[in-house]
Structure 1
Amino acid sequence: MRITRLYVYPIKALRGIELQSADLGAQGIRHDRRFMLFRVLENGDLKKMQLSSFPECALFEQEIVDDESILVRFLRPEGSPRPADEVPQMPLTVPLRPGTENLEAVEVNLHGSSARVYRMGDPFDSWFSACFTYKVVLVYIGDGRRPILGSTLPPQPARQQQSGWLSGISSYLSGAHQQDATWLTFTDVAPFMVTTEASLQNVRARISDGQAVEMYKFRPNIVVDGEDEWAEDFWAELTVNEQHGLLLTGNCLRCTSLNVDYNTGKPAAGEVGTVLKKLMKDRRVDKGNKWSPVFGRYAFLAGDDFKVSVGDQVEVTVRLKDRTVWDWPGL
């Protein structure tokens, strides 16, 4: 197998950036989901913004410039009732590594896993608020560390399901190094998401009106050309270029974000707006959450940091006898 695509999402929920190569570390691809948007409610509480609840996030394009900043553009939909002069005309530049000493620290919660993070403030908040037409804040993870919840997603329990794992991986997953390394930024529940081209073709075959289902809607980090469709359900370990490992420890349970039209920032018209429903018919295969269909696998690094590129060789080095069972509390 080969890696066919790589994606990074510096600001969570906005459009991803397709890469030709990427640096992988314990917290994911470098720069991945270090920033996140929250809507400010009338009582002052912060509500997380993700595509499932805020499909208009799909209207924001982001670009990494010189490994120093993120350039964000708002793509006003064609035919939008909003006058063009009401929308910020200039893109927003966000530093990739902002200093935090003068930023307000706040506690935020994502899927029950909270962290102390930093509000970026203006001009970032005002720019996004003008685009969304309601009050929004941009936060930076900084030195915040979100804990991993449940017993199936951290690497150690997954490793115990198998025998014959590499001794180097066993060493990595034990002791203080595991405690230091296994925490999250604003990635949902694991540092990486792995999907396959073969399973995407299965999804595309379910659409009969000629519209294409694009891989970016599944928001992966690493895409491989795969074996047979859905073979990844039973993958436990991938080895890249015969030396670097990824531990696949949980299924990705899908939501209405699959139905979003990235050109309108709304649920898509036609059959591509029913992708989630079509997967419901036969992809509710995780006994831990029988209501959500599965597409893709969550993954953790299995050793030292390394670099990957499109075209790199990938091998399945450990397989599961049975599918993993979801148990992230409350999600």
Structure 2
Amino acid sequence: MKTHTYNYYTRSQALAANYVWFDYLSYLHRLQTSSFASYHRHFRRGFHQPIYLTLPIVIQFIYHTVTMKITTVGITILNDQILSLTTCTQLYVYPIKALRGIKLKSARIGPQGIAHDRTFMLFQVSEPDGELKKMQVDSHPQCALFEQEFSGGNISVRYHDPENQDQDEQPLVIPLIVDTATLAKINVNLHGSAPSSAYSMGSPYEDWFTARFGSPIRLVYIGDGKRAVLGDTLPPKKHQQTTQNGKGGWLSSLTSYVTGRGQEGKPWITFTDVAPLLVTSESSLHDVSARLPADQPMPMYKFRPNIVVDGQGEEAWAEDLWAELTFNNKHKLLLTGNCVRCVSLNVDYETGKPAVGELGSVLKKLMKDRRVDTGSKWSPVFGRYAFPAVMQDSQGASFELRVGDEVEVTKRNAERTVWDWPGL
């Protein structure tokens, strides 16, 4: 057998070969070949000095050549990383937080997530002190009875009265972008992160919600307000995207939420809980449904995601370790935290009350084996919070995502992230 001799001048150079090894495997992968002859040809091309191919490198070559796999579904094992190809199957946006989501075919993704997501929020006025209490599905399951949809430049909201399903009332129409010049400022707080400013929409909007909830309600618009991201939820600074609105009004909001352009500043969020986006997987949803009667599958909308991927080629709960998703080989999301779950999973969206039977015990079923985040050890995990990474294209801070677009899991964590949003 013909041997090939190489000559290293120092021991450190020999050791360095171990570190360049994976770069050559990556190059080899791009060439879509794993033959020794092709590898050897490209390996030698990278060096101009004769060197000795040390025994550890020979062992590494055999091991990694055998274990590197390229399959038709795009799964590649390389340097202990699994890159899997999947598809975006659903997109949701929630202009008014806690109401039913709007299912989209495409969405503009910017630093604050999907355009117009959770820019409005409902608060209940406590009596007699007038304290504002946040309204979410877990504490106010009646929110599930309100359907919203886009209608031109407006949000159209309909109330589904479970006691009078034949009722055909006129929807409430709310402008997506509001001129805040005539609105009263209001102080609100969500999960310990208060927006720099927020505005009460006043009549007739708040009157409409008050009549249906049966208690005083404030509809709050975040406008040019910004909420700080707390804890270690933020991605590394080099990956952070930021935008900053102008001093007020609809023009500055339009610039921020539609085009994503603006001056750089500290990263911020709207009335989203802790991050701009929530990503979930259908593979994990199938596992949840397998815990329920066959005729009562768990619907994805109860998990209130923004982006759903099919998880093809992935086991259930593989997303626990996802660190980065790449869309259409170009746009990246950085997944920084787990979404821990509450009793909102048990709500019946037809009655606006806790569901009866098996669908009313989904949270309990997940508690058995999905309490996997040591930072929130009493709550089960489903889904991952995400931030758009810095964009390098001409569009700057936003990109278009469509149902059916290709999604690749391009980075994974060695272990699960730990929840650390203070007080939540």
What is the TM-score with the length of structure 1 in the denominator? 0.90
**Which structure exhibits the higher relative contact order, with contacts defined as CA atoms closer than 8 Å and separated by 6 or more residues?**
1
Pick the aligned partner of 2:421 from 325, 328, 331. 328
* d(CA) in 2 for partners of 1:54, 1:267: 10
The size of the alignment, in residue pairs, is 311
In structure 2, stretches of 5+ residues that fail to align are: 1-85, 245-261, 391-396
* 1:82-93 aligned within 5 A: 89-93=169-173
Kindly indicate whether the alpha-carbon contact (under 8 Å) linking 2:88 and 2:309 is maintained by their aligned counterparts in 1.
yes
Shift of 1:89: 2.5
CA RMSD of aligned residues (A): 1.9
Kindly indicate whether the alpha-carbon contact (under 8 Å) linking 2:323 and 2:412 is maintained by their aligned counterparts in 1.
yes
1:113 aligned counterpart, secondary structure: coil
1:236 aligned counterpart, secondary structure: strand
Pick the aligned partner of 2:221 from 140, 146, 166. 140
Q: Which residue of 2 aligns with 1:285?
A: 372
Larger strand proportion of the pair: 1
* 1:30-179 aligned within 5 A: 30-42=115-127, 43-66=129-152, 68-78=153-163, 89-115=169-195, 116-151=197-232, 153-156=233-236, 170=238
Kindly indicate whether the alpha-carbon contact (under 8 Å) linking 1:204 and 1:213 is maintained by their aligned counterparts in 2.
yes
User: 1:110-143 CA distances to partner (integer Å, 9 max, x unpaired)?
Assistant: 0000012000000000000001011101010001
* d(CA) in 2 for partners of 1:79, 1:94: 24
Kindly indicate whether the alpha-carbon contact (under 8 Å) linking 1:258 and 1:276 is maintained by their aligned counterparts in 2.
yes
Q: For residue 413 of structure 2, what is the amino acid of its counterpart?
A: L
- Whether 1:308 and 2:401 are equivalent positions in the alignment is yes
Pick the aligned partner of 1:2 from 87, 106, 123. 87
* d(CA) in 1 for partners of 2:241, 2:106: 26
Q: Which residue of 2 aligns with 1:217?
A: 302
Structure ID, larger Rg: 2
Runs of 4+ in 1 over 3 A off after TM superposition: 170-174, 176-179
Q: For residue 312 of structure 1, what is the amino acid of its counterpart?
A: D
* 1:207-246 aligned within 5 A: 207-208=292-293, 210-226=295-311, 227-246=314-333
Larger helix proportion of the pair: 2
Kindly indicate whether the alpha-carbon contact (under 8 Å) linking 1:26 and 1:305 is maintained by their aligned counterparts in 2.
yes
Identity %: 60
Q: Which residue of 2 aligns with 1:318?
A: 411
CA 1:180–1:252: 2 relative to 1, 3 Å: same
* d(CA) in 1 for partners of 2:192, 2:185: 19
Shift of 1:107: 1.2
Shift of 1:40: 0.3
Shift of 1:210: 2.6
1:114 aligned counterpart, secondary structure: coil
User: 1:184-241 CA distances to partner (integer Å, 9 max, x unpaired)?
Assistant: 1000000000000000000000002631210000000000011211000000000000
* d(CA) in 2 for partners of 1:324, 1:171: 18
* d(CA) in 1 for partners of 2:106, 2:229: 27
In structure 1, stretches of 5+ residues that fail to align are: 158-169
1:50 aligned counterpart, secondary structure: coil
User: 1:260-304 CA distances to partner (integer Å, 9 max, x unpaired)?
Assistant: 000000000110110000000000000101000000000000023
Q: Which residue of 1 aligns with 2:342?
A: 255
Shift of 1:306: 0.4
